[in-house]
Amino acid sequence: MTTSAVRTPSGRDIRRFTAATARTRGGAGIGELLGDVYYAFITSAIGIGMAVGVVNTMRDALPPSSAAPAAGPDLSLPGLAALTVLAFVGVLLSLAGRLGPVGVGGAEATWWLSLPVDRRGLLRPVAVRLPLVAGAVSAVLLVLIDLGLRAQSGETLDRVLRVGAVGGLGAAALVLLAGVGQSFGAVRRRIATAGNVLLGLVPVLALVGGYSGWRPGDLPTPAPVIVVVLAVVVVAAGLLLDRRLARIPARDLRDSGSVASQAVGAMVSLDSRELGRALTDGAAPTRRRRVARFSWVSSAATALVAADLAVLRRSPRHLVQVVAAACVPAVVVGVRQIAVPGVLAAAFVVSGYVAMVATAEGARRAEMSPVLDRLLPLAAARVRTLRMVVPGVVMLLWSIAAFAAVARLEGDLSSWLALAVLSTPVWAGAAVRSAYRPSPDWSGPLVSTAAGALPVGVGGVLARGPDTVVLGLVPTGIAIVLGFVTPHLLIAQVVTSAIALAVGAHITTPKSVHA
Amino acid sequence: MSATPVVRVDDLVLSYGGEPVCAPVSFTIAAGRALALVGANGSGKSTVLRAVLGLLEPVSGSLQVLGRDVDEREELFRAQVSSVLDDDAYFPALTVAEHLLLTARGHGVRDPDDLTDELLEDFGLSDHADVLPVALSSGQRRRLLLAAGFARPRQLLVLDEPEQRLDQRMRAALAERLRAETDRGGAVLLATHDPELLESVAHRAVLVADDVSRRLSVADAARAIRAEPPR
């Protein structure tokens, strides 16, 4: 023992000391603070205003529920709303497990966790941050879903408030309970897996409900007792978590904090690939029970494809993502009020993009760390081409499921399946193009958007991938809107698919510099 | 000197994902003594240190620090055990001196300002006291971390390759400081690849390896390090 000690400060003191010292150097006065608050308020108001506009449009556009029933599974809008909420719960649980929910990363982990101060005082703000955010987002989201999808006129303020309260309190309770589980040593990966399973169940429930005739006419207004019960759960879980904060080991706090820091950094820099890596790696097992033998690998090309396939196969989150996305067109077709060409085309593109992103995991990882690419004797363009194989095969399966749903609505199954096959290369090309996009260029001129000022270069980079999907699927989109497939559209799709493949395989060669 | 060793490790087995990291490890460290862990890269030295600090749950074996099972969640444990691992994270808005002050105040040091000034001087950071971490070189950031390890009361000091990123003069100064640490009755556990640091600081050594972990004399451990292939 080499230095004399007096009473140690509290965790709260340490937080305040750190914050106060940083504030003296931050250079931000009350004016800047008010400016930030104003900016956040305006941005939130614009976002909510846009969402309310979409909701009102949906309410006006949705036809009455007396429309002719669809063939096959048949869902009602309230049923779809209930399933959407269930899917949201799955996403929330999965995120809570991946992010901790209680964690300390970076400098706080290094400089705070080793101090002999009460950790409750240190961790309290961290412990309430995620439940608060989840509660606020869920409250708004549930109200929007309720208003938009129920298509019932005459919503009362009382119902809106109760739905919002149930959404907010329910989400907060869920995250707080995940935190309690963390304090009792629950493995974060299992919490995340529970969320994935729930998410994966949603399309299954949709199909089961559709075939079994589950068609709720309306969702009941939440009874006050439910709001009270949820409030009690939130308070109880919050108190229990607060009492057990000091029981969470530093290693768990560091792991969770590391994932959260990486995820926040990715969001701030608008890097969706990094965000995906943060959320996937944090909950991934560090060891496999079985070692893949790759007995079918006989060349450098098959080695590359095998590696991509292994990455996808070992990521349950991405597999669930593909399966769930494959069910979306079928669900849309099953709900009479929204089974219209415009909604179907939008659902087709969005769900297809979600599935496509999942299939490109191998390519994204290779772009970040091209270890295998460097080991194999393959030209860069050929590597890009081979990286389209796994997305192509998986998206072919997705396309068959999606277009079969369209055919259920429009008839002429063979033509739609032909379009499914011919449009698949667009997804494969877009998958590789988005995976190999460069880092955003933050140095360009600024453009004002609802989400704040953004450099032009950022938008250009983020559009790589979606641009291929939108342009490459123009013939398919026209077919969906028209409700039938023509030979001309098939030919046009062949042409755009070929272009998408070429774009996906394209390598930008740096220009040589002559002194 | 107390009869209870500061650190007692018996047949400690550690794993990542169910696979043992190294052969079972056993050693004790008494007050006023320094023990060095040596071994090749990836042999498990840092993993053993993390277990001693409570940052990794042992699979089997026993591990006690100051006569108690390791539980870093206890404030008493954190008050008695100081560590410098390979972390490289700093508060972006806090200066070098403020990082040390935060540590000293957090541990209730009686004269944090005086101690901070002394450590800044000893670790060659006086000219950078008011500098933010972003402006430090890699070696200076390493010195800041090491200084923080001394900016607080302790009975055990755990260091993971403290020689990393230090020049020869600073390595010699560190060795002198660690000798003073044991002379004053503190215990030191370090992992190192530096034979000079090992010879000037450690009283005993343990070779950590996949097949068998065994105790070595300091001279044998230094020879083992010198025989390692260049990193």
Domain boundaries, chain B: 7-226
Give the residue from chain A lying closest to B144, CA to CA.
A111
Chain B: closest CA distance from residue A8 (Å): 4
What tokens appear for B91 in the block?
């508060």
B115 touches chain A (CB under 8 A): yes
A185 touches chain B (CB under 8 A): no
Which pLDDT score, from 0 to 100, does residue A27 have? 65
Residue A514 has pLDDT above 50, yes or no: no
Interchain pair A1, B185: CB under 8 A: yes
Give the phi and the psi of residue A455 in degrees, each rounded to 5. Answer: -65, 145
Please state which CATH number belongs to domain B7-226. Answer: 3.40.50.300
| pLDDT tens sequence across A207-226 | 888 778 777 777 788 999 99
A21 touches chain B (CB under 8 A): yes
| pLDDT tens sequence across B14-66 | 988 777 888 999 999 999 999 999 999 889 999 999 999 999 999 999 999 99
Interchain pair B109, A6: CB under 8 A: yes
Is the preceding peptide bond at A101 cis, omega within 30 degrees of 0?
yes
Average pLDDT over residues A352-381: 89
Q: How wide is the angle at C-alpha B120 spanned by C-alphas B115 and B121, nearest 5°?
A: 100
Of A25, A111, A250, the CB nearest to B99: A111
Interchain pair B78, A116: CB under 8 A: yes
Interchain pair A9, B105: CB under 8 A: yes
A286 touches chain B (CB under 8 A): yes
Which pLDDT score, from 0 to 100, does residue B223 have? 93
Q: Strands B7-13 and B81-84: what pairing?
A: unpaired
Q: Strands B34-38 and B204-207: what pairing?
A: parallel
Window from A109-123, A152-166, A316-330 with minimum mean pLDDT: A152-166
Residue A42 has pLDDT above 60, yes or no: yes
Chain A: closest CA distance from residue B207 (Å): 26
Give the residue from chain B lying closest to A122, CA to CA.
B106
Interchain pair A287, B109: CB under 8 A: no
A117 touches chain B (CB under 8 A): yes
Helical spans, DSSP H, in A151-249: 157-183, 188-212, 224-244
Interchain pair B181, A2: CB under 8 A: yes
Which pLDDT score, from 0 to 100, does residue B108 have? 92
- Per-residue pLDDT band for A1 (boundaries 50, 70, 90) equals very low
Interchain pair A107, B89: CB under 8 A: yes
User: Long-range contacts of range A320-324, CB-CB < 8 Å, 24 or more positions apart?
Assistant: A320/A196, A320/A199, A320/A200, A321/A354, A321/A355, A321/A357, A321/A358, A322/A355, A322/A358, A322/A359, A322/A394, A322/A398, A323/A200, A323/A203, A324/A87, A324/A199, A324/A200, A324/A202, A324/A203, A324/A354
Report the mean per-residue pLDDT for chain A: 86
What are the extents of the domains in chain A?
Answer: 50-283, 301-440+449-507
Q: Which of A339, A432, A333, A352 is nearest to A400 (CA)?
A: A352
A324 — alpha (psi -120 to 50), left (phi > 0) or beta?
alpha
What tokens appear for A414 in the block?
């063979």
Of B17, B19, B107, the CB nearest to A8: B107
Of A25, A115, A286, the CB nearest to B17: A286
Which pLDDT score, from 0 to 100, does residue A513 have? 45
Q: How far apart are CA A438 and CA A367, in angstroms?
A: 9
Beta carbon pairs, A and B, within 8 Å:
120
Q: Which of B46, B65, B98, B159 to mutate to test the interface with A (most CBs of A within 10 A)?
A: B98
Residue A285 has pLDDT above 80, yes or no: no
Residue A135 has pLDDT above 90, yes or no: yes
Residue ranges in chain B modelled with pLDDT below 50: 1
Residue corresponding to tokens 């923080």: B148
B18 touches chain A (CB under 8 A): yes
Cβ-based contacts of A25 with chain B (< 8 Å): 93-95, 132
| pLDDT tens sequence across A443-456 | 777 777 666 667 77
Which pLDDT score, from 0 to 100, does residue A515 have? 37
What tokens appear for A221 in the block?
């207004």
Chain B: closest CA distance from residue A172 (Å): 26
